Chain A
Amino acid sequence: MSPEPPSGTLPPSSGTLPPPSASLLARVDAMRPVRTRRPRLEAAVVALASLAALAALLTVFRPRSDLSSLIVDGVAAVCALVFGAELWWALVPPRGQVLPLRRGAGARVLGAWLVVVAALVITGHDLAPDPRFMASARACLLVGTMTALIPAFLCLVLLRRAVDLGGWRIGAVVGGAAGALGALCLQLHCANTHLWHVVVAHGGAALLPIAIFAFVTRK
């Protein structure tokens, strides 16, 4: 992705400079000071609000019955780390830039999702067929996607001025963060250990928001 030409590389136009339009001047004359973005603070607020919402949702959906035995759950830790990293990519621009657009956004999001799926696969699960695969997968996809809507909505509100400029890349990164939170919620809520359920439903819940928000924000 090469969205922004470096400053100062273009020569000035040879013609005379047109004056600002009347409507622009009217708005500039009437302008008031605005509070500019503080991306790190925004990322922290969204992270805290999302985790608080996750805790609230878990009290509604009930945490998994064996949660107390999972002293340090590797999958949950990976989901939380991916959520934090993608939230940072989504909201905090690279140093010296205004727009939070990074090179290889699509590859980053895909790579982060693969990390979540790999964590789900390698932690070892029941390989026996799940007789209630469809019903349980549907329920988990629903819970995961509902959880994902919270950070996605907050991020898109904060990034509304950039969505038009960043297109699907911004949506994909926001969806990646949201999906990781959805997968984290499922890891703490769902005690189903069948491999295909975990990969398809929990991994799918991490992937679905990426596709949804990339589609919604495309130009």
Chain B
Amino acid sequence: MTSGREAELMARYCDGDRAAFDALYLEVAPRLIGFLHKLVGERALAEDILQETLLKLHEARAFYVRGADPVPWMFTIARHTAFDELRRRKRARVRLVSSDDGKPPEPRADLSGAPEPARGSDDPAGAEALAALDSLPDAQRQALLLTKVEGLSQAEAAARAGTTPGAIKLRAHRAYVALRKLVRRG
């Protein structure tokens, strides 16, 4: 497919044509997934970032200039979304492994996800996060706790949960994203 065809599909998508969105998705999403997979190294994460990229594209479609090739723009959105997500994950990892005295943090929830009243009123953000943990689906909460709190590898967590490492990776990521949204909203 030429960029002229993609430009035409994008223009029809901006005009509200649902079929044009479907055609554009089928044409561009495989290339974006390949690009993102190479960038982040995880298929599940690449799929999540693809969805976020397409949401951003949808919200920004009024920025499109008719006649222009939309694909480089899509790749730019995808790359920035991926880098933002990688930065967030890196920051989250740093927060998880660091504490004031340099020691690793104590687990603050049991495997059922029931929050402990650990640090009390001096850490409202932590209490909020633990409360938000309760609202996650069981499978996601379990994956998050096994990998992020217990520190198990994906293979170990998968064995513990009776599923595959890929599923654990996906569930933990989705739980993390949902948790972040819940805490922000709160």
Contacts and interface: CB of A to CB of B under 8 A. Distances in A.
Given A5-B75, A8-B3, A18-B47, A97 B63 contact: no
B33 interface: yes
A37 B58 contact: no
Contacts, number: 121
A17 interface: yes
Given A5-B35, A13-B34, A13-B37, A97 B18 contact: no
A36 B66 contact: yes
Interface in A1-16: 3-8, 10-15
Majority secondary structure, A binding face: loop
B133 to A, nearest CB: 22
A147 B66 CA distance: 32
Nearest to B50: A18
B34 A36 contact: no
Nearest to B2: A8
B64 A37 contact: yes
Interface residues of B, number: 43
Interface residues of A, number: 39
Nearest to A40: B65
A21 B43 CA distance: 16
A12 B34 contact: yes
A123 interface: no
B77 A165 contact: yes
B64 A32 contact: no
Interface string B60-86: 111111111111110111001000000
B76 A24 contact: no
Contacts of A27: 55, 58
Given A13-B37, A165-B80, A35 B62 contact: yes
A95 B3 CA distance: 13
A10 B35 contact: yes
Contacts of B71: 7-8
Contact of A36 (B14, B30, B73, B80): B14
21 contacts: A5-B72, A7-B69, A7-B75, A8-B3, A8-B31, A12-B31, A12-B33, A12-B34, A15-B33, A18-B33, A18-B47, A20-B51, A21-B51, A28-B58, A33-B14, A36-B66, A37-B62, A97-B69, A98-B69, A99-B73, A161-B62
Interface of A: 3-8, 10-15, 17-18, 20-21, 23-24, 27-29, 31-39, 93, 96-99, 161-162, 164-165
6 shortest interchain CB distances as A-B pairs: A7-B71, A4-B72, A12-B30, A13-B33, A161-B63, A98-B73
